[in-house]
């Protein structure tokens, strides 16, 4: 693999993902409607019941909508990561995954490129969401919108790698509903996306522990701080480590001799 070949292929994979995303307009709308409903309906409804104390990175009392914005950014990336993995299962069933896997590039590179492509799509969604949120008076410092970008890359990669890992274990598209019930919802609700850790601790120590160790919580905190131009080192390292672990397992899962690709082909053809 030459550097030039790698760059051309990476551009091609990212472009394909964007083409697909733009062609599937309903996917784009759905990806935006979900967090906006949470913001306009759920957050507005809970505004009076959930008071948020002054906690970093916020320097003053904030409305619940402001708190939940970072969680909803995480939600966009979480769903996009799962959507990408769903499309990988679909591509595998429909055969178009083969086009990628038989190209003359190392498999780790192909999977990483696909992951990066999915992450860019999620970042596009996040910025459109933030633009709408801006008009709803959820405004971060200008610098925050810039410092958010690298944070979104890492959090998007981590959640995408998790999706990719799951897709290597899922045999059929029908099994994907299980992922919704057993991965997405628990990850989202047992996190700091909707409520801060200290609030969870007041209710249940077990939930507090689960939420603390949930990589999605750390990705949300990493994003929350980045949106205000700050670096949460613990959340950054945790998200980075989670990405490395998920990615290594996903590459293993897609290895033709070692991973789940072998276990999937247990029946004769």
- Residues lying near another protein in the complex (CB under 8 A) are found at 1-2, 4-5, 8-9, 11-13, 15-16, 19-20, 23-24, 94-96, 98-106, 255-257, 261-262, 265-269
Shortest reach from residue 29's CB to another protein, in Å: 16
Tokens of 183: 């991965």
Shortest reach from residue 93's CB to another protein, in Å: 9
Contact 86, 225 (CB under 8 A): no
Shortest reach from residue 161's CB to another protein, in Å: 21
Question: In this complex, which beta carbon is closest to another protein, that of residue 9 or of residue 76?
Answer: 9
Question: In this complex, which beta carbon is closest to another protein, that of residue 59 or of residue 267?
Answer: 267
- Which string of b and e fits 9-48 if b means at least 16 CB within 10 Å? bbeebbeebeeebeeeeebbeebbebbeebbeebbeeeee
Question: In this complex, which beta carbon is closest to another protein, that of residue 100 or of residue 151?
Answer: 100
Shortest reach from residue 173's CB to another protein, in Å: 15
Separation of alpha carbons 189 and 118, rounded Å: 23
Tokens of 164: 């990719």
Question: In this complex, which beta carbon is closest to another protein, that of residue 75 or of residue 260?
Answer: 260
- Bridge-partner residues for 62, per DSSP? 52
Contact 35, 129 (CB under 8 A): yes
């Amino acid at each position: 693999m030459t550097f030039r070949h790698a760059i051309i292929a990476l551009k091609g994979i990212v472009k394909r993902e964007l083409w697909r995303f733009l062609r599937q307009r309903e996917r784009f709308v759905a990806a935006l409607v979900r967090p906006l409903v949470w913001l306009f309906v759920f957050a507005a409804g809970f505004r009076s019941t959930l008071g948020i104390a002054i906690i970093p990175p916020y320097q003053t009392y904030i409305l619940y909508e402001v708190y939940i914005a970072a969680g909803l950014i995480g939600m966009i990336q979480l769903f996009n990561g799962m959507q990408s993995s769903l499309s990988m299962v679909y591509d595998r069933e429909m055969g178009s995954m083969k086009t990628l896997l038989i190209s003359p590039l190392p498999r780790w590179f192909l999977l990483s490129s696909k992951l990066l492509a999915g992450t860019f799509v999620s970042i596009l969604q996040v910025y459109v969401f933030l633009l709408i949120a801006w008009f709803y008076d959820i405004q971060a410092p200008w610098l925050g919108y810039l410092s958010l970008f690298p944070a979104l890359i890492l959090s998007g990669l981590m959640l995408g790698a998790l999706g990719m890992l799951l897709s290597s274990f899922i045999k059929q598209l029908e099994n994907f509903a299980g992922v919704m019930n057993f991965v997405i919802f628990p990850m989202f609700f047992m996190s700091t996306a909707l409520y801060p850790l200290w609030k969870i601790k007041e209710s249940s120590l077990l939930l507090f522990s689960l939420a603390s160790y949930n990589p999605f919580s750390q990705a949300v905190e990493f994003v929350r701080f980045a949106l205000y131009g700050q670096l949460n080192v613990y959340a950054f390292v945790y998200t980075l480590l989670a990405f490395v672990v998920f990615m290594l397992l996903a590459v293993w899962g897609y290895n033709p001799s070692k991973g789940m690709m072998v276990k999937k082909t247990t029946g004769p053809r």
